[in-house]
Structure 1
Amino acid sequence: MYLPRAFAENDLAALDALAARDSFVTLVTVRDGAPCVSHLPVLYRREGGQVALHGHWARPNPQALHAGPALAIFHGPHAYVSPGWYPDKEAAARVPTWNYAVAHLHGTLRTFDDEAALAELVDALSRRFEPEAGGDWRFEPERDDHRRQLRGIVGFRFVAERIELKFKLSQNHPHANRRAVAERLAGQAREDGREVARLMSARLAPDAGD
């Protein structure tokens, strides 16, 4: 990922926040020289600097045959930034851009398909996501029909070995520009814009001025 120093985020709490906000990741592997991509929910775990993800594929998914290097991408909020919002738009000949937050986790995949581990994973996933959806489904290991469903999936554990956090929030602009952009985004109808505004405002607080 192209990561200018101004946009690099080093606090893993920022990754925690991205994962809590949206744990539906893009998982990228390479097979026979071609990229293979899946989009799927994961369970996120961090202990200190160690980050691990757990999830599963449908068994027919070609990526389920992969064990080894992989890239997992967490997508954060993003928003268009108009050059007309900058106080110095004319003097500096400003141009349009896009502000966003994203995390790239480079690491290694390990697959598993034993029934007990898959049952534990499906149960954990349902306990993580059902409350958010207002549902109450649970995996019931005593039910044969629930256990049979496990034959259709392959589980994985992904351990991050390198983490890149990019929070592109106009840090390369004067304070007045950053403040103006945050104010305009805060008033947008799109929630993504308001989320970007909150991220920008949190990083504006320590600044004393331009």
Structure 2
Amino acid sequence: MYVPRHLELSEAYTTTLLKEVRAGNLVTFHAQGPAATLVPFYLDEERGVLVTRLVRDNPQVTEHSIGPALVILDEADAYISPQWYVTNEVAPSVPTWDYITVHVRGAMRIDTSLEGAIRAVRELTLRTEPAAVLDAVDEPRLTAMARTIVAVEISLDHVEGKAQMSQDRHPDDVRSLISALEDRGETTLVKYLREVSLPYAEQRLATIARLHETRNGRAEEQAYRVARLH
């Protein structure tokens, strides 16, 4: 994933995102080409792996994979209309899409044991539902369900996070986006815009202003020197 430095997610933010159970795309590569499945993942912190489950008949299980697997975990995203920009009247723009995502690359291990499948189902359920939900499923039924799937682990060999969140816009544009996205209930994106994007945009604008002042000051000094020579 291409990640300009100013769009990098902090390590703390990335770690927090990984600790939350969420659905993501598991992408693998095979002789016939790439394959992908949208599945839920949870982080096994002690072993440093993302864990999910796949149906046993899935080609991602039955066909030999080439190289590392890729997991794409999107936290939030939203369409951004140029009409929401305060500066759009003087500098018309085009629509874009803001998003927060984490990509994980690593070796994929498939656990075909019944125990591994049951463990994956238990963990995914207990991390998202009250224990009573799992207790309501009797052991024979849980075992029957587990026989149809396999547990899959992806090692955290390379983790990178990216937030394409209008950081390079004018601060007034960011404030306007906050208002527009608040109205649409995009709480995750609004929080990032307010806590990260807006301070960055304000600092960026201040830096640009200082550079212009320095440049103008040098130009005036140079003009004064030239005038004195003549």
The TM-score, its normalising length taken from structure 2, stands at 0.76
1:165-193 superposed Cα distances (whole Å, 9 cap, x missing partner) = 111111111222112211221112xx3x3
CA shift, 1:60, in A, is: 0.7
Q: Percent identity?
A: 26
In the superposition, relative to structure 1, how do residues 85 and 119 fare at CA in structure 2: closer, same or farther (>3 Å)?
A: closer
Q: Which residue of 1 aligns with 2:35?
A: 36
Q: What residue identity is the alignment partner of 1:28? A: V
Note the aligned Cα RMSD (angstroms): 2.7
Which is richer in strand?
Answer: 1
Deviation beyond 4 Å, 4+ runs, structure 1: 204-209
Q: Which residue of 2 aligns with 1:109?
A: 108
5 Å-filtered alignment, 1:125-204, equals: 125-131=124-130, 136-138=133-135, 143-188=139-184, 191=185, 193-204=186-197
Which of 49, 54, 68 is matched with 1:52 structurally?
49
CA shift, 1:204, in A, is: 4.7
Using CA pairs below 8 Å that are at least 6 residues apart, which structure has the higher relative contact order?
A: 1
Work out the number of aligned pairs and report it. Answer: 201
CA contact (8 A) 1:179 1:204 kept: no
Structure 1: give runs of 5+ residues left out of the alignment: none
Q: Which residue of 1 aligns with 2:14?
A: 14
Give, in whole Å, the separation in 1 of the partners of 2:136 and 2:50. Answer: 20
Which is richer in helix?
Answer: 2
Structure 2: give runs of 5+ residues left out of the alignment: 206-230
